[in-house]
Amino acid sequence: MRALVCRGYGDPEQLQVEDVEIPVPKEEQVLIKVIAAGVSYVDSMMIRDLHQNKHPVPFVPGTELTGRVVAAHPGSRFAEGDRVAALVWDGGHAEYAVANENEVFALPEGLDPVTVAACLSVYLTSGLALRHRAGLQQGEMLLVLGAAGGTGLAAVDIGHALGARVLAAASNPEKLALADQRGAEWLINYHREDLKEALRRTTPDGIDVVFDPVAGPLFEAANGALAWNGRYLIVGFTGGMIPQFAANRLLVKNRSALGFSIRHYIRNDNDKLQSEAQHLFTGLLNSRLHPHVSAAGNLHEAPGMIRRILDRKATGKMVVVV
């Protein structure tokens, strides 16, 4: 089969499309003929050996995909030919991939597999984080940092669908326009205005939930804007900074600092993961959710997509069509 292979850690330009063996599924795994696979920030970290989940070389990047089941273990809930979406540890940027059955989701008819492959991980991440970790409620104020990236734009979309009042913060008008189209009520260009002053002017009573996939220099202003019983969701560190929370500032207003990892739901709370996938598919079918797929290409074009992510030129999600 053809696959995009990382044989040495480094920049995306060193990735090559090669012929490799089709993977063999182990017990409790399914083999999937890939239709499409998302390209994400995680891929850019994996190939440089900067992600906390380690991937010994050689390996194939790609952590989310759609396709059809080719083989499943006896007693599996899936059968040959089933349309599925799946999260995978790696291996998605290939013609075939194996996935653990508890990370595979039946894909309803009527859903575009390319769109689902592009948005699967970010919408599951944002949905679980907002719905279950932060307990976002209708009418609450939600601030999304990095609001035009994959998880950020998904958080804007899901937050609006849940009935929250969404403030989107991004670095330029083009990115903010994407958040506006997905229901953000307030748009903050943090390259043109001070975030602290913008939040004070916009939400004098404070923010109920901060969704932060960046953890960069905006952390202090966003954290300081939390309301009574406010919740600060740490979803990632694309800004390269590890934020430090002062315990006294959490205490005085009954605030919470919340870490989020989708691996928890994969390993320890799989029912919620499966349920969130159904929320995603239903939202796509009834057009309440609106993923932004900014680019689609073949395996040979995947390194260029990863480069766009590293250069911070990507919006929403990109996808490889196999």
| Beta strands 141-144; 207-212: pairing state | parallel
Residue 215 pLDDT exceeds 90:
no
Q: Per residue in 154-200, pLDDT tens? A: 999 999 999 999 999 999 999 999 999 999 999 999 999 999 999 99
Same domain for 165 and 62? no
For position 301, which CATH number holds? Answer: 3.90.180.10
- Kindly state whether residue 276 falls inside one of the protein's structural domains: no
- Kindly state whether residue 174 falls inside one of the protein's structural domains: yes
The pair of three-digit structure tokens given for residue 253, joined into one six-digit string = 């207003």
- Kindly state whether residue 73 falls inside one of the protein's structural domains: yes
- Kindly state whether residue 183 falls inside one of the protein's structural domains: yes
8 Å CB contact between 32 and 99: yes
Same domain for 137 and 101? no
What's the total number of domains in the chain?
2
Same domain for 248 and 160? yes
d(CA 73, CA 86): 16
**245, 263, 281 - which closes a domain:** 263
Containing domain of residue 101, as a range? 2-107+292-321
248 or 296: which carries more pLDDT confidence? 296
Which of 147, 186, 154, 153 lies closest to 170 in space, CA to CA? 147
Same domain for 145 and 243? yes
Same domain for 159 and 91? no
Q: Per residue in 118-152, pLDDT tens? A: 999 999 999 999 999 999 999 999 999 999 999 99
Same domain for 178 and 49? no
Tell me what the pLDDT averaged over the chain comes to: 96
For position 151, which CATH number holds? Answer: 3.40.50.720
Residue 239 pLDDT exceeds 80:
no
Residue 242 pLDDT exceeds 80:
yes
- Kindly state whether residue 169 falls inside one of the protein's structural domains: yes
pLDDT of residue 39: 98
- Kindly state whether residue 92 falls inside one of the protein's structural domains: yes
- Phi first, then psi: what are they for 130, rounded to 5°? -75, -45
Same domain for 144 and 92? no
pLDDT of residue 216: 82
Same domain for 140 and 87? no
pLDDT of residue 237: 85
- Kindly state whether residue 118 falls inside one of the protein's structural domains: no
pLDDT of residue 285: 98
b/e 197-225 (16+ beta carbons within 10 angstroms → b) = ebbeebbeebbbbbbbbbbbebbebbbeb
Which of 51, 184, 61, 212 lies closest to 126 in space, CA to CA? 212
Read off the pTM. 0.96
Q: Residues of the chain with pLDDT > 70: what percent?
A: 100
Same domain for 316 and 202? no
Which residues sit opposite 98 in a β-bridge?
31
Confidence band for 243, pLDDT divided at 50, 70 and 90: confident
Same domain for 202 and 98? no
Same domain for 143 and 50? no
Same domain for 184 and 134? yes
Q: Per residue in 251-264, pLDDT tens? A: 999 999 999 999 99
Dihedral angle computed from the Cα positions of residues 309, 312, 313 and 314, in that order, rounded to the nearest 10 degrees: 50
Q: Per residue in 266-284, pLDDT tens? A: 999 999 999 999 999 999 9
pLDDT of residue 277: 98
Please name the residues in contact with 94: beta carbons below 8 A apart, sequence gap of 6 or more. Answer: 1, 2, 3, 4, 20, 34, 37, 60, 62, 299, 322
d(CA 88, CA 156): 25
- Kindly state whether residue 24 falls inside one of the protein's structural domains: yes
